[in-house]
Amino acid sequence: MKDVATRAGVSIGTASAVFAGKPWVTEATRTAVLEAAAELGYRPRERRAAALPAADVGTVGFVSWMSEMFSPANPYYAPVLFGAQQACAELGISIAYEVVDPASGRLPLCVERRQVSGLLVLSFASDDDYLRRIIAEGVSCVLLEHPGADLPVDHVRHDDETGGHLAARHLLDLGHTDPPPAIVTGPEGVLPAEHRLAGYRRALAERGLRPLPGYVRRSRFDAATGYEQTMELLALPTPPTAVFFANDESALGGLDALRDRGLRVPEDVSVIGYDDIAMAAHASPPLTTIASDKELLGAQAVWHLVQRIRKPDMTSRDTRLGVRPVMRSSTAVRVHRVRFPGETA
């Protein structure tokens, strides 16, 4: 289904809607999807709806922890929510959206009012006590991105350590070994960021390398701190010739910083991001990145949640979705060593 959607130039939710016979799909889109399916020899699995009949599930909730990382303006957030909504529509389930603050002590309103039978919980920092209170109300949970310790919940995430390894290895393969690549990762305790950092360290260790002092920087996963940390890297005695940004938003800030310093990407400094948000392809230059399937993350969480609502005592599942490199124009073979202003010889 994902391959069909990519070939047809539509989202996986739209491709699914075509095969489900949804009336809102335009004829042009329907034709493009069906032609792509024919070219790939794809036949939809007619039994998915039968395998997951969901009429009795009713309504599920999609909640996120109160954080600027999860505002609707976040380019990572919207596709996850869209994928969940499309999966719910396919299964005939209603979905309610809510932002919560565990520190307030209040459970989500949809739980307090007994409006939902299950919750999709998007957070980078789980509050296990808070989740236990939700589960005690008879509400099943599936966690996106961050796991829960010893809880009867499912966990759906991307394979971020592999992604971090792929990103760093790509830069090393291009000859950025002396000095090795730097990394601008996310806040401490944010597991996707920590996993990407672990993958980066593993790639360097495989080449017998370690990050230079100051080469591991922390951001808030936004453009502003990506800019700030790039300026800090450029002020080091030996600035890097390649930088791995652990998300695309911080990479966009890094590109601005390099431009402001009069440096060229990728001729002077190679840059790779993570997530493949929509803006990545339109950056200047277009951003090489590690793609994560954000819509599939939301959809997979819905499919797990329906099963867990039916069988709340089933064993917990930790599902990792694959990631892949997307090669664009912001990385290149290292052909010379740039001397930065103030750098020691």
Burial tier of 8 (Cβ tally within 10 Å: 0-12, 13-18, 19+): buried
pTM across the whole model: 0.82
Task: Please state, in angstroms and rounded to a whole number, the distance separating the CA atoms of residues 252 and 26.
Answer: 34
Report d(CA 222, CA 332) in Å as an integer: 24
pLDDT on residue 190: 87
Q: Which of 15-19, 271-275, 336-340 is least confident?
A: 336-340
In this prediction, residue 343 has a pLDDT band, given cuts at 50, 70 and 90, of low
Average pLDDT over residues 214-227: 96
Q: 10 Å Cβ neighbour count for 291? A: 19
Please give the CATH topology (third level) of the domain spanning 160-291: Rossmann fold (3.40.50)
* Closest among 310, 331, 325 to 140, alpha carbons compared: 310
> Which residue intervals of the chain bear CATH 3.40.50.2300?
52-158+294-322, 160-291
Give me the architecture of the 1-44 domain, per CATH.
Answer: Orthogonal Bundle (1.10)
Q: Is a pLDDT exceeding 50 seen at residue 51?
A: no
Average confidence (pLDDT) over 22-51: 76
Q: Using the predicted structure, report yes or no on whether residue 52 has a pLDDT greater than 50.
A: no
Read off the pLDDT of residues 311-330 as tens digits, 9 standing for 90 and up: 888 899 999 999 999 999 99
Hey, what are 35's tokens? 């032609």
Q: Which of 302, 318, 313 is nearest to 54 (CA)?
A: 302
The first and second tokens of residue 31, run together, are 């034709």
Please say whether the structural domain 52-158+294-322 has been given the CATH code 3.30.70.270. Answer: no
Position with higher pLDDT, 191 vs 200: 200
Mean pLDDT of 20-25: 76
89 or 103, greater pLDDT:
89
Facing residues of 244 across strands? 183, 272
Q: How far from the centroid of its chain's Cα atoms is residue 192's Cα?
A: 8
Across the chain, mean pLDDT equals 89
Band of pLDDT at residue 338, cut at 50, 70 and 90: low
User: What is the per-residue pLDDT across 93-132, written as a single tens digit (0 to 9) for each?
Assistant: 999 999 888 888 899 999 999 999 999 998 866 678 888 9
Q: Report helix, strand or coil for 41.
A: coil
Distance between CA 115 and CA 136 in Å, rounded?
Answer: 15
Report percent pLDDT > 90 for the chain.
Answer: 63
Tell me how crowded residue 71 is: count the other CB atoms within 10 A of its CB: 12
Residue 228: band (very low, low, confident or very high) from pLDDT cuts 50, 70, 90:
very high
DSSP state letters, 265-296: TTTT-EEE-SB--GGGGGSSSPPBEEEE-HHH
Q: Which of 234, 249, 232, 246 minimizes the C-alpha distance to 185?
A: 246
